[in-house]
Each structure stands twice: as structure tokens, then as C-alpha cells.
Structure 1
């Protein structure tokens, strides 16, 4: 077999069933090998960025690595945004890029870029295969690195002549998928029992305890352990954007999201807690606000698989390298919580301030109403993908996620255009589940060509577009912090309903609450891709909001 056939065989050996990609000259050997392969489904996207986002959505929804395949040059550079998105949010991906033949590298050849060097800052690791004999080792290492420890994207650059080279029989043993040894890479860290004991003692003595959960709580059995632990000891829980769903949003102990757009209850509890157990949280600026004023009186325990995240952004009192699941299992056996009824009463007061606002007397829909309609129609049992902006925060705040891996969103990079291809990836993985992309009229126009991808593959994706004629979050900042000097935020849009129909999809529109309820029910009972356009209040703002550089204590409440 040649290198391309070997690579396909190795992907099958890694239980890869789906490839998201776009062909080109440098990857013709791989596409030729796929022609005879009935074990891997190829999803042809319309843009390489969407291929990586779709693989990302597949990985987040399933917990398994997603795989994207793109050609050299512009194909590879188009993939960079998707790679950076996955890197910031710790998503396990294998990105296969075509490359010109090794004898042409460095000569400014047609469709040549140094994607290996270009992606070093936004991959967990990357490779260029210069010899066919190295391919088995590199593929095994790539999957090992992407999926162990703190997950992340790994890129493999594949020169065309290496893919055409013959793989000899004496190298066949090298394709065995034994656990590779990589010098200096130690993804598994056992937690010191003494650290578990110290954490247990601090929690047991706390008068105002709080658990803060992040994206690191999505793996292994962490969600089940988290629910058991919080329920047994009646501990309040706040979440980052990436942690939503690890504990059901409607759980009586869940206070909501923290940070710039956090709830009153979550932010007040975090600022006033005396012990904060931080599970899989990296303390981004959107979570902490002014770092010097972040939870000033608390004893902070941080647990993370990645040692480099400990004490990076916030000074930590007890830093623990290891899995959140292992720590929670240890704490279950060692914590003995004292009475903290006064703390519970105070949190109850803050929670009442976080209660949903009453309906405003307006002619147009509000975004909160639309999300609550989606929540009611799906009973919280859908996979929700979003783009980035106001609709993302409204979704995080008002949709009640019932399980882990049901919320797909770009948290760290904040990538507009992520939502639809991520929803496609999830729909490929779970064809029988409701998959809904909630987006804005600005974000949707970034990758709306992927409607055709969903239609071609008969995917059950529903798209809810909040159409308000603005780049909403940018406009809100200009309103609140720049004296309403609206600069380049007014955006025009096509008729999304007509657009959907031109792609062979379905399209519905709603102006009122009754119409919204009607078209959501209709969409959920219609096969294939459906675009729902909601005409919402133009200058509706996201609240609460913490001004940039301010403390979470200084949130602006509507």
C-alpha cells in the first residue's frame, strides 16, 4: 500500500468513522484512497474553516477526537481559525493538511505555506511527515497527544510524495497502536492524597463554600461525580461559559454563570465565598474581571490537568495537578460539611435578584422569549450550538442544559461563524437528536454557505437566527462605553427564509411570540435543515454586564 492507503487504514484502526474535509491537489492521494473505503464517511463542506469547526462540534458532542482533512496552501490557512478555536477550548482534533512534495518545500511552490510553523502557537503539537516510515509513529503519537491530558488539536502535515510512497511489509509492525512513549510528555498525574485531605478539611470548615466548574468538568465521569458531591453536601455551584451542562442548569444548587455576563447570584457568591473549589477552570479575563479584586477573601483550590494553568492568572492557595473526577471521588470520602444555613439564605436572596425579568410591552420579540420557547419545545434535551455575541450569552443564561456536552460554543477565541458547522458536526454524530444552532444575523453570514452541506447530507439541524440588524454585542459596547457612537455595526442581511429555500432547505419567520412558538414546533417536526428567522428587538442589551476592567462586584444590572 502507499502512504495515503496506510493513513486511511490507521484512521479506521483508531475507530474514526467521519472525516470533514475539502479536496485539493496536494491531498489527491488521500481522496483517491477514500474512493475505495466504505468504513469512513466523508462530509464535504464548502469552506475549510467549516471542516475544522464541524470536526470540533463532533468532538465536543461525543468526547471522541474529530478529524478534518484539507489541502495545502489556502486550504491549510483557511483551517487556522478552526484550529485556534479548538486550541483555546481544549478540544481533541486531528487536522490533516496536504503539503507540496518534500523536494518543493521552501521554494515558494504553488500552494505552499509553512503550516507546520504557522500553527505552532495554536496546536497542542504538530508534525510534518518527511518519510513514509515515520507515518505510523506520528499518527499514533498524534492521537495519543490530542486525547490524553488536557485535550487539544494536533496537526499532521502530509507532503504529497510521502502519501504516494510505498509502505513496505517490514514496516507493518510499526502500525500497531501501542501507547507511544514521548519524552517529556506525562499526561496522567495521580493526585497526592495529602492534597485531597487538605482540600477536604478546608471545605469542611468553610462557612461560605462555593464550587466553580469549567470546561475541565466535561470529561470522564466528572458530571456524575459532581452531581453526587454537590447534592450530598448541599454545596452551591457556579459555572464558567465552558462549564455549562456539567451540572444541569436547572439544578437547585446551580447559581448560573460567573464573570462579565454572570448572574447576580453567581458573581455575588463568588466574590463573598470563603472557600472556592475551582474544577477545570483556567480563569480567563471574562471570568475574573479585575484580577486583583477577584474573590478577594477566599481560600482558592484549583484542580487542572495542565500544570501550566495553575497559578497562571490568579494566585492559588492549593494548586492540584490531576483530574477533577479523581479529586471529587477523594473528597466524597473525606468531606464533612458543617452547617452553613446563613450562607444558603444569603444566596437565596441573590438568586431572587437573578430571577427572569417580566415580559416587556413591545411589538417585537425579545431574544429571551425565543430561547425559552426553544427550551420548552425541546425540554432541555437538545444539543445547542451558538455563534458568538449577544445570542451566545442569552442562550447561556436562559437555556437550561440538562447534560454535559450539550452546549457547543466558542469560548476562548470567540469565533463568529462557528455555530452552523459545529451543529453539522454534532448532527453527523447524533442524527436522531435535536441539534439547534442559535445565531445572529451577523454571525450566520460568516459561514452560511454550510447550509448546502447540511442539505446534501440530510442532517437534522435547526437554525434560529436572531435578526436585529446589528452586530449586537459590539453595538452594546458602543452604546454603554462609547456614548452611542455606532460605528460600522449596522448590518444588512438577505431574506434568510428565501435563502434557505434556495438551498433546498426549509425556512420560517416569526414576528410575535405566538408565531415563534408555532414555527419552533413546526421546525422540530420537519426533517432536514430548517432556518427560523426571528425579528427581535433592535437595541436589546445583554445584562448583567461587568464593564471592562471592573470587578465582578460592579456588574450593571438591567
Structure 2
């Protein structure tokens, strides 16, 4: 065998495992890996402007491909900046691998330059965190990282890579590609599910989450439509099935359709597929309680550790989501009568998702989203971070076949723009739209430089109400008319876009939005619509005045 540096061995393992892109802010702690990437054209290196953007882009890439998104950052502040993205990947069940350049092995435990115990730091928010001390074992660690990141409930892996270890020249045996592990559903459990369906009067399905895929989306939509079962998307999993499916019932989470909430409460059988049934989806574990005494819960999840972890499951099924969805799609039970609730639930959602213009609102975001629906194709990828602004798109946008939604279930700010950059690089033939609030956008607005550097074509819609809107909403509810720490002074976002080589449009009225969007669609590169809204119009159904009156 030929002697190779640890950096060369590491990059070779990524290539063997099928990695075609990494995201990074370079650090002196992993120069040997960067040197190896120089001679590896199969792996594109995307240089970002801050490690938060690096980790968010890797998470978004993992969501879009189903393969681990790969990121490299340096020790200390590089790793801690990236930790927000690791947390997103953990809560979103996204396959991801973060490599952290570390100080030399001999200097450990002396509080050396930028030293952090990365195993201890990342273990609570990662599926696995470890350090590679022996260059000969790099193939073993990388293969295990790919397995851990993708098996069961997908999630992030963090590997610390000491600088001197990457410079070591050793003989190492490459590991072959790690094949996906697919847990076949138990036919007996699927048969039991169909028996429960025959006994049910008002079933409902909640889908999206761990291991979800276009294959799962296709087959589960067929199954649910054939049997007339309403399908609700878990929080920010709205592309889990094509929203044109005749039984799609809308999303759960913050501000869902009241009719959908009531449908969930009235259901005698809940079929949760891929979803953890987390706090956001279940409205603080109240919409469906962990013990759900008046409901039967069938919980299908790829990780046995999630089954029974919080929710008692009357019928737990551990299975790969694609395999499960295909099995129920192909299952034939002539005794199962088709439910009428599916079409009713879809009609309720169609009515709920149709914006109604409001008088006295200069820039009404509901009709703006409707204009986007008319002008952009169904395969458009909508990316957003956290904030009050996102509710308009969650309610009124119709999501197509996944991946068409990149949004963090953890509610982190600053995610939308890095995710949009990653999407625009991954899918050059599809429209990509970042929707951001003013506070949300400026968390990672510097990644416009990354978009410009890699000729990414994307539309950015900045909803500017001069405030941290969500916090202001809660503040007005709990402490009316006592504004504290929520007002923002913002730049001219149009000029900011132009500074990065893009174009921009200032939008102050609803009538101006459509023409500005038309101009943006006709252009390429960075296009930003600066939408100035009134902070008094705090959500698509609530105003500050209403909150103060409560």
C-alpha cells in the first residue's frame, strides 16, 4: 500500500462514500484535508462566509439528497458557530457529518489555542461525536459515520480531526461504500394496521420526518387517496406528499387550520408515519397527548428507540419509510370501505389556503403568496428560517413533490438563505426562493457572497416590519404596550443585494409585488424583493390590537 497523509485518506473515504460536495470555512487545523481536496475534482468545495452558514447548507443538502451533507470547520469558534446547524440536523432528523479540525494530540487538555472537548460539547445534540486519533483508522470512522448518520432515525455525526493526525503518513485500507440499511415492515403488523382501519370511523394520518423520501411520499399518497384517509403534514414537513393529492389536509404546528385541529381531536385512529410527534406538531403534546386515552395510535418510525419514547403506541411498527409506504400501497384488503373524510379534509385545506385580501393593509402578504403560486412552478423550492413571516407561506403556499420545502423544525433563525444557496447549487434547473424576515435574514445575510461566488440563482423575499416580529407578538400578548428589545433599525436591503452583484426591488404595496416578482423571474443570479410591512399586522390572522385586547 502507498503511504498517504491522514488528510488524503479522509478525502479518499468521502469520495468512496459518494460525497460530491462539502461546505466549509477554511481553518489551519485541517490544511492537509484542504490540500487533498485540491486534487479531488469529484468533490466540489463550497467556501462559505460563516460556520453557521456552513452547517445550515450541509443540513439542507442532506435534506435534499437523503445522503449526509458534509461540512468542515475549524476548532473553537468555528465549531461553536456550526453547532446551531448540528442542532437543526438533530431535531430535523437530517443525515449530516461535521468534521472539526482540532489541535495537535500532544497539546490536548492544556486549554490550548481554541481548545474544546468536542465529544463532550456535541454529544447531546449529535447521534455520535468522536475524535480520530489514528490516521490508520480514518476509513473505519468515516464508514461508521455514514452508517450512523443514515441508519434508523437519521441525524448528525461530529468527528474531531487533530491537525497533526491529518499530516501523518500511514498505510490505511479503504472501506467500501456503506450501503443503505432498509428495515422491512412486518407483514403481520401491516395486517394489524388494516384491521384497525376497518374498525375505525375517523382515521387520520400524520406524515413526514425521519427517513422520509420521494418514494415514501409517492406510495403513501397512493395508499391514503385510495382509502380516503386525511393526511396532515407534521410541522414544516409540508412537502411530505404533493399538496395536490386529493386527501392532503394541511400542516400541523403553529397556526394550523382550526378544522384540521378538530379533525385530529375527533380521530379515533391516528397513523403517524415518520413523525416523532414532537412539541410543535402536537401543540405542546396537547393536540395528541402522549397517552391519548380516547385514540388508537399506530406509530411507524425507522428507529426502534423512538417508538414508545414519548408516545405510547398501540401498534408500533419499526420500518424503513419507503418500504412501509410501498407495502401499504400494494396491500389489498377488499373488506376495507373507503372513507369520505379525505376529500372533505382536502376541501377544508383548499379553502383555508386561499388568501382573502384585507382592507386597510398596504402590503398584504396573503395575495403576494397567491401571486407566487400563479407565477412559479410546482417544483419551486421554498426556504425559510424562523419568524412570524413564515406563517403566510406555511398557510398559503402549495408545496410540490419533495424536496420543495427547506425549513427547520427547531425554529432556528438565519436558516433560509444558506439553505437557498445550497438548493440553488444542488438544483440549478429549479426556482429557489428564500423567504426571510428582516431579523432572520441578517443572521446569515453574508451568505449572499457565497451565492455570488458560485453563481447561484435565487430569489430572496425579505419581509421587513422593523421588529423581531414573533417576540413582539408574544410581548404584546403578555406585556401589552411595553416594547422592549424587539425594535430593529434595518439597512436598505435593495442596495445590499446590489452590493453583492444582484438586483433588488422595493415593494411597499400589494399591487407592486406581482410586477416586481415578474421582473425577478425574468432575471438570473441574486434577486431580492424588499417588502416593507406594518408590524401591527403581526400574523395572517392576528394584529397587535387584537393581542392587546386579550
Relative to the length of structure 1, the TM-score reads 0.91
Give the distance between the partners of 2:302 and 2:378, measured in 1 at CA: 30
- SS of the residue 1:307 aligns to: coil
Q: 1:355 to 1:91 in 2, by over 3 A?
A: closer
Q: 1:386 to 1:477 in 2, by over 3 A?
A: same
CA shift digits 1:204-256 (9 cap, x unpaired): 22211111112236326101101211221122111112321121223331111
Give the distance between the partners of 2:490 and 2:263, measured in 1 at CA: 41
Between 299-308 and 474-483, report the one with greater CA deviation. Answer: 474-483
- SS of the residue 1:241 aligns to: coil
Tell me the matched-pair count. Answer: 535
Q: Contact 1:470–1:491 (CA<8 Å) still a contact in 2? A: yes
Residue 516 of structure 2 corresponds to residue 519 of structure 1: yes
Q: Contact 1:53–1:422 (CA<8 Å) still a contact in 2? A: yes
1:424 aligns with 421
Which blocks of at least 5 consecutive residues in structure 2 are unaligned?
A: 543-549
- Following superposition, the deviation at residue 41 of structure 1 comes to 1.6
Q: 1:481 to 1:349 in 2, by over 3 A?
A: farther
1:271 aligns with 265
Q: 1:39 to 1:345 in 2, by over 3 A?
A: closer
1:80 aligns with 83
Relative to the length of structure 2, the TM-score reads 0.92
Q: 1:40 to 1:344 in 2, by over 3 A?
A: closer
Which of the numbers 223, 232, 235 marks the counterpart of 2:226? 232
Give the distance between the partners of 2:216 and 2:164, measured in 1 at CA: 45
Q: 1:142 to 1:211 in 2, by over 3 A?
A: same
Q: Contact 2:140–2:175 (CA<8 Å) still a contact in 1? A: no
Residue 309 of structure 2 corresponds to residue 288 of structure 1: no
- Following superposition, the deviation at residue 390 of structure 1 comes to 1.5
Q: 1:357 to 1:244 in 2, by over 3 A?
A: closer
Give the distance between the partners of 2:353 and 2:143, measured in 1 at CA: 50
Give the distance between the partners of 1:352 and 1:75, measured in 2 at CA: 45
Map 1:137-148 onto structure 2 (within 5 A). Answer: 137-148=140-151
Between 345-354 and 492-501, report the one with greater CA deviation. Answer: 345-354
Which blocks of at least 5 consecutive residues in structure 1 are unaligned?
A: 181-185, 546-557
Q: Contact 1:123–1:152 (CA<8 Å) still a contact in 2? A: yes
Q: 1:220 to 1:138 in 2, by over 3 A?
A: farther
CA shift digits 1:139-183 (9 cap, x unpaired): 111112112221111111110111000022xx3xx2031659xxx
1:554 aligns with none
- SS of the residue 1:113 aligns to: coil
1:337 aligns with 336
- SS of the residue 1:242 aligns to: coil
Residue 437 of structure 2 corresponds to residue 440 of structure 1: yes
**RMSD value over aligned CA atoms?**
2.3
CA shift digits 1:244-283 (9 cap, x unpaired): 1121223331111123321123211111111111111111
Which of the numbers 385, 392, 396 marks the counterpart of 1:394? 392
- SS of the residue 1:384 aligns to: strand
Give the distance between the partners of 1:422 and 1:345, measured in 2 at CA: 34
Q: Contact 2:27–2:74 (CA<8 Å) still a contact in 1? A: yes
- Following superposition, the deviation at residue 475 of structure 1 comes to 1.5
Residue 324 of structure 2 corresponds to residue 327 of structure 1: yes
Q: Contact 1:390–1:473 (CA<8 Å) still a contact in 2? A: yes
Q: Contact 2:68–2:150 (CA<8 Å) still a contact in 1? A: yes
Q: 1:367 to 1:163 in 2, by over 3 A?
A: same
Which of the numbers 96, 102, 105 marks the counterpart of 2:105? 102
Residue 464 of structure 2 corresponds to residue 470 of structure 1: no
Q: Contact 1:218–1:404 (CA<8 Å) still a contact in 2? A: no
2:380 aligns with 382
2:129 aligns with 126
Give the distance between the partners of 1:249 and 1:178, measured in 2 at CA: 35
Give the distance between the partners of 2:244 and 2:478, measured in 1 at CA: 33
Q: 1:118 to 1:425 in 2, by over 3 A?
A: same
Map 1:475-514 onto structure 2 (within 5 A). Answer: 475-514=472-511
Give the distance between the partners of 1:512 and 1:270, measured in 2 at CA: 38
1:215 aligns with 209
Q: 1:504 to 1:126 in 2, by over 3 A?
A: same
Map 1:157-236 onto structure 2 (within 5 A). Answer: 157-168=160-171, 171=172, 174-177=173-176, 179=178, 188-216=182-210, 218-219=212-213, 221-236=215-230
2:237 aligns with 243
CA shift digits 1:54-78 (9 cap, x unpaired): 1111121222221111111211111
- SS of the residue 1:361 aligns to: coil
